[in-house]
Each structure stands twice: as structure tokens, then as C-alpha cells.
Structure 1
Amino acid sequence: MPQDVQVFEAHATDVDLDDLRARLAAARLPEAETVHRAAPDPRRWDQGVPLADLVELVDYWRTDYDWRAFEKRLDQVGQFRTTIDGLGIHFLHRRSARPDATPLLLTHGWPGSVAEFVDVVDELADPENMDAPAFHVVVPSLPGFGYSDKPATTGWGTEKIAAAWVELMGRLGYREFLAHGGDWGGNITTVLAGRFPEHVLGIHTTFAEGLPGATTEGLTAVERAWAEETHHFWRHRAAYAKQQATRPQTIGYSLVDSPIGLLAWILDKFAEWSDTEDSPFETISRDRVLDDVTLYWLTRSGASAARIYYESHNSLDPELRVDVPAAITMYPRDIEKYPRAWSQERYRQIVRWRSPERGGHFPSLEVPGFFVEDLREGLAAVLAARR
């Protein structure tokens, strides 16, 4: 192991866990929403997280949820920390036993964390099928997220994070690597590929933003619907992003001080952005959502994580082009879906394009089996294009 990389173990104190349960027990809740509908009905969520759903989940969080199981899982994967540009960066690192494995960097987004990938790391590193490609998997926590340090100054936007990821992979002995991401992870993966083509073999992403001012002429009906849905999302459903891009400190007080506030803020997105008819728990386990939320809570990272919006919202360089091979998957219930004609203005060598029948913004949690197969096939196409 490189000298500047240290093994890390996650271990919350019993005092912190007892404090969390006490806060949950003493929570002051508002009255129920005024859109009364029986489940299942997506319109129950028209005003945000329904009171009944929140009360039930809080009760489970306080009485039955096991944080120690998640800590154990992180340690099983392998946790490390290193310092880059003065900032401590936490990451998971699972080396494959296969000699033909290729390094693969997985970058999460908001309101995600490394919890998004803990259920797929093993199968990516050491697949049961020996004919499937294998990867040395690296999953960093974004600056200000989880067990990574919180930046004390401005400047840690997507461009700087991408440069830090190149440094991180180099320290691990991976001068060349593949990269995947969605949400902010997809944005960062795009920057990585565009800025550091000498290090990035190719990418797989669920985020493939085209260039500003793209026309709808020539689009299919489905692609027009995608464009309209994406426009509607940013116009009518993105208040959270505006808040975090303009006043992350203000919302941060609630997110760091109130576990109920933090849970509702994050659960709202898991519900709205997943491919479900009513509750996100139709496809995502309660434990994984609570792993994610509890990680934010214990590391007090509600404000620091929100600041990535302040640093980088709407900042993807319109001049940036990706010339390395790219595999792109547009899940049907994701919040941003771009027609291929738009995406290929930026991503110049799309070697595989897929639009599955199921899945939303969190495919590694919603459809993990499909996600792994799609990622493997996409990256295999990327590597084949380089031969």
C-alpha cells in the first residue's frame, strides 16, 4: 500500500447512536399534508414526504435499524483515506483477484454516498461468471460527503474533484482507468474524460448532458418527451437544487441539527426520482436508504454536501468534449434524460447507447442485477473500441 494511503475503519460511538435515537424519540412533527389519498398513489407525495410514511420509517430507524451492519459492510469492502490538495479523501477499494481486471472508478452523487455501490462492488470485482469482465473497484466519497473531509474554502467544484480523482487513482497504481457515474458522479465522470483522456480509458454514465441551445428538430416522439420531462424537472421540481446552490449554509443548519429534517430532505428525492408508483421502498431497501441518511447524520455532512451545488451548479463547460469511448444508459425514470443527438454533440465516440425499460436515478440500488450487467457490457464495448 502506498505510504500516503491509510486504512480506515468506520466506527460511530455509542454516544452518537444513542443521541440519534433520543432525537428521533423527541421529534416535533408537523400535521399531515392536505392531499389525502390512500396508498398506493404517487399523488400522495405532491406536498413532499407524507407524514404516515415518515412516522413509520422513523420508528424503524429508532428501534430496529442496525448501523453496525453497514459499518461492517464498509470494512468488508475495504476503506481507506488519503490527503489530496490538503483535503482528506475517503474511498472504498476492492481489488479483484483476476489478473485481467481493469481499474474502475465509481463516483456517487447527491443525495447519495458510497452506500449506492456497496451491493455491486463484489460482483464487479470478482464475477461468478469467469467470462464476465472484472474490475479493481474504487469508490471515493465526494469532498464534504461521508468520511471525506469538508472543504474549508471555496473551489472544490467538479473540475477540481476530477483532478483529485486522477491523483487518487495514480496513488493506487492505476495510471489508466475506466470511470462510471450518475448525477454529480456523471458530471464528474464527464469532466474526467474530457480533461484527462490520457488517463481515462473510457466511461459509462447515466448522465450525458448535451450542449446549450440544442434543437428539438429531428427528435423522435420519445426523445421529445425526454426533453420536455427534463425541462419540466428543472423548471418545476428543482427547488432543492436552487436552495443548495444559493443558500447551502441556511438549509445546512436543519440538515445537521435535525435527523428528521435530514431524513425527509433525502427521502423526498429517493421517492421522486426512483422508478416506483408510490414508495421508494418498492425497489430500494429501507436499510440502504437509512445507511445513506445515517452516514450523512453521523458525519454531520448535510451542509458540506449541499455545497457541491454552490460550487458547480450549471457549471459544466459548454466547450468540453469527450473523445474517449463512452457507453451511455438513460434510465426511464431518471430526472435528466438527453436524446442521443444532443449527447453526441459532447460525447464524440458513443460506442453503446441503452434506454432500459425499468430504473430511475439510483439504478445500483433499484435494479442492481441489471445495473451490473449493463455496466459490464458498456465497459466491455468501451474497451473493445480501444483495441
Structure 2
Amino acid sequence: MTVERYQIHVADEVLEDLKYRLGHVRWPGLFEEAAWDRGTDQAYLKSLIAYWRDQFDWRAREAELNKLAHYRCKVEGLDIHFVHERGKGPNPHPLILTHGWPDSFLRYEKIIPMLTDPASYGGNPEDAFDVIVPSVPGFGFSNRLQRKGINNSNIAGLWATLMTEHLGYSKFAAAGGDIGSGVTRYLAFNHPELLSGIHLTDIGLIKNLLAVQDKSGLTEEEQLYIQNTSQWIAEEGGYMQIQSTKPQTIAYGLTDSPVGLAAWIIEKFRAWSDCKGDLRQSFSEDELLTNIMIYWITNTAGSSANLYYENTHTLPPLGPFEVPTAVALYPGDVCLPPRAWAERNLNITRWTTMPRGGHFTAMEDPGPLADDIREFFRPFRD
């Protein structure tokens, strides 16, 4: 399958079925004054569902998304959807951006023009990028995963093939967060000859550090990371345990109920962002619902959850690599890594602590992230 242009278009019957489901919700009972303590707050969710049912205009958002240059092609047997926007500058550098869960390619919608056309945002056209944003296999408009063994390492291989054989780039930059951080690190580990550098907004859970028994040789920062992250996993990691062990079980509810899907996703947007407990400070209802819609209309809630299972059961070890690496950390994110560990295990050449932002910073506050990406890759363009 050659690279072909792609347009998003959802059938009317899918939207009609969704509207019916949103109008016939069976709500659970409530504990008194539970708010967000026991999960997604019902008062907020009812407000969001009412907006979704009565005011949200998918066709308008669909038209906005279709202003981007969408493509699909078959890569190693999988149909991969991606956005490919060309840079406006004398020598745009190719950059592949990889999203995570529970977001989608939509994570990078705001930052794409800042990277392709920096001059329009007060930057230098010499910093322009050709930006490629794929939908991770199992997510959105890429193939739903129905075969075993697709993990972050395999996806890195798919991206290498996409960029070199299908798009014709001999060398490129890569960036990502969440699952996208893992995929990007495996790109650097498995295909260092293809990369000018990588930019990360997190480095994932450091499992080998969490497993250390004798902590006497660790720095104070590393010991604090173990303490804080262990507490976070105990209090906030239920979704991860379910999706890593029994993703098919949760898939039934998320696939059948748009309200269940919304509750599952927005709890994470609230907990992992820099919204200070108020989602409206970081995201509009249209942004949240467009992301949820991408899961709903493509029926990929279960498929995306399966990637957690594969990464737990089939992912090979990740070793050290020499590809230049930038890390930008955001105060609203979770499980912030100790710098000393990162510098021992990654080739850190840039470390930025941002004043604001969270896990979904490309959606929350894209400007500083675009600046950091431009500045980091500037010396590697030649």
C-alpha cells in the first residue's frame, strides 16, 4: 500500500447511535461528598455528557481536523494513519511526534503549526520542521490491534520503516511523551543511525530503580523518587494494573458505553495535567470530547488498552544509547524522574524544568514546548 491521502469522515449512523446512548444513561449511585476521591466526579461528568449530547458539534471538529494533511499507508502489514505537515523554511528537519494513552494524535494538534512555521510564531524559519504525527497502532485511525506482540519496540521499528522507506527521510528527529516516550527511546536504542536526537517530556516509570532492594547506594533524589512513585502506583495506578493484565475485561464497558469511556479518560486528564483540579483551566470541553470521540468512533478503547498488556509481557529490555537526548519536565506531570539516574542511563544533553504544564503539555501549553524542541534540535540540523 502506497502512501495515500486520508480524510476523517464518521458515518451518520455512528453519530446517531452515540446520541441515543448519551440520551439513555444509567447513572451509578453516589457516596456522600465523594467528589473526585473515588474516581470521576459525577456532577462534572453529567455536565460534560449534557454538553456532548446537546452542544458538541463533531462535524465542525471533523472539518477542523481535516485541515491537517492526513495520510495512511501499510507498514509491515499494519495500516498506519499519520499527519504529515511540511515545514515552511529553507531546510525543514523531519520530526516524528508520538502520542500516548489516553490521548491520541490530537495531543500535537496545537504544536504542529508552531514547529512547521516558526516564523508565524515569532521564531526563525530556519528552525522549521517537517512534522509527522502517527496514530500509534491500536489507537485512532490506525489499525485496531488484533494480533499479539505489538509493543513499544515493535512500534519504533514501524516508525523507522515509515520514515525511511515510505517518506524518504534518511535521518530524522523524534519526540514524545507517555507511550510516545517509550517508543522514542526504543527508536534511539534500536535505530540510532537514523536519529539526529530525541526529545522527551517524561521517561516513564523507572522499573529497575523501583525494584532496587538495597537503597543505601542511591542518591537522596532517587530514594525520594522510589517513595513518591510507589505511593503514586498504589493510589493512582489501578488503570495500569487492569490494562496490563486484563485489558479485554475493561474493553467491554469502554466499548459499549460512551459515558464509561469518558469517565475512564477524563479522570487521567485531570490527575495528570497542571489544571489544579479544575479541568477547565487546561482543556475546553471540545478538546476533551474530540479526544474521547477519536476512541469512540474508531472502537479502539480496548485495542489501545492492549498495548499496556504487550508492553508488560513482550517488551524487550531497553539498554543505554548514545543518541543526544533532551528532557523537558513539567510540574503538573506524574513521577518526575531523578536527574542523576537519567544522566547515567541516557545521553542527556539538555535538561529543562518548565515553570508550568503537565503530562499533556502539548495540549495544555504548547508554546514553551515548541521553543524547547526548536532550541534542542538547532545544533543537529546539519
TM-score by length of 1: 0.91
* 1:200 aligns with one of 195, 199, 206: 195
Deviation of the 1:208 alpha carbon:
2.3
Conserved? CA contact 2:153–2:186, under 8 Å: yes
Which range moved further: 371-380 or 83-92?
371-380
Which residue number corresponds to residue 118 of structure 1?
Answer: 109
Q: Note the 1:325-340 alignment, pairs <5 A.
A: 325-340=324-339
Deviation of the 1:358 alpha carbon:
1.2
**1:176 equivalent in alignment to 2:174:** no
5+ residue gaps, structure 1, are 37-43
Deviation of the 1:169 alpha carbon:
0.7
Which residue number corresponds to residue 39 of structure 1?
Answer: none
Which residue number corresponds to residue 364 of structure 1?
Answer: 362
Which range moved further: 119-128 or 25-34?
25-34
Deviation of the 1:217 alpha carbon:
5.4
**1:235 equivalent in alignment to 2:234:** yes
Which range moved further: 150-159 or 64-73?
64-73
Which residue number corresponds to residue 160 of structure 1?
Answer: 154
Conserved? CA contact 2:109–2:363, under 8 Å: no
Per the alignment, in what secondary structure is the counterpart of residue 379 of structure 1?
helix
2:324 maps to amino acid: P
Per the alignment, in what secondary structure is the counterpart of residue 344 of structure 1?
helix
**1:143 equivalent in alignment to 2:137:** yes
Whole-angstrom distance in 1 between the partners of 2:223 and 2:365: 26
Which residue number corresponds to residue 96 of structure 2?
Answer: 105
Conserved? CA contact 1:227–1:339, under 8 Å: no
Whole-angstrom distance in 2 between the partners of 1:279 and 1:216: 40
Deviation of the 1:227 alpha carbon:
4.3
Whole-angstrom distance in 2 between the partners of 1:104 and 1:276: 28
Conserved? CA contact 2:153–2:316, under 8 Å: no
Which residue number corresponds to residue 208 of structure 2?
Answer: 212
Whole-angstrom distance in 2 between the partners of 1:220 and 1:100: 45
1:92 maps to amino acid: V
Which range moved further: 44-53 or 180-189?
44-53
1:152 maps to amino acid: Q
1:143 maps to amino acid: P
Which range moved further: 210-219 or 184-193?
210-219
Whole-angstrom distance in 1 between the partners of 2:218 and 2:248: 43
Q: Note the 1:1-387 alignment, pairs <5 A.
A: 4-36=2-34, 44-127=35-118, 128=120, 129-131=122-124, 133-170=127-164, 171-209=166-204, 210=206, 212-213=208-209, 219=219, 225-313=224-312, 317-347=316-346, 349-380=347-378, 383=380
Deviation of the 1:219 alpha carbon:
3.9
Deviation of the 1:130 alpha carbon:
4.9
Which range moved further: 175-184 or 72-81?
72-81
Deviation of the 1:193 alpha carbon:
0.7
Conserved? CA contact 2:186–2:318, under 8 Å: no
Conserved? CA contact 2:99–2:107, under 8 Å: yes
Deviations 1:57-93 (A, max 9, x none): 0000111112122222222111000111211000011
Deviation of the 1:336 alpha carbon:
2.4
1:198 maps to amino acid: E
Whole-angstrom distance in 2 between the partners of 1:313 and 1:333: 26
Deviation of the 1:317 alpha carbon:
4.7
Per the alignment, in what secondary structure is the counterpart of residue 202 of structure 1?
strand
Deviation of the 1:345 alpha carbon:
2.4
5+ residue gaps, structure 2, are none
Conserved? CA contact 2:189–2:318, under 8 Å: no
Whole-angstrom distance in 2 between the partners of 1:324 and 1:108: 20
TM-score by length of 2: 0.92
Whole-angstrom distance in 1 between the partners of 2:216 and 2:162: 40
| Cα distance change of structure 1 residues 363 and 224 upon mapping to structure 2, 3 Å threshold | farther
Deviation of the 1:366 alpha carbon:
1.3
Per the alignment, in what secondary structure is the counterpart of residue 73 of structure 2?
strand
Which residue number corresponds to residue 40 of structure 1?
Answer: none
Deviation of the 1:325 alpha carbon:
0.4
Per the alignment, in what secondary structure is the counterpart of residue 77 of structure 1?
coil
Deviation of the 1:94 alpha carbon:
0.3
Deviations 1:24-81 (A, max 9, x none): 0101111234335xxxxxxx31111111100000000111112122222222111000
Conserved? CA contact 2:151–2:315, under 8 Å: no
Q: What is the aligned residue count? A: 373
Deviation of the 1:118 alpha carbon:
0.8
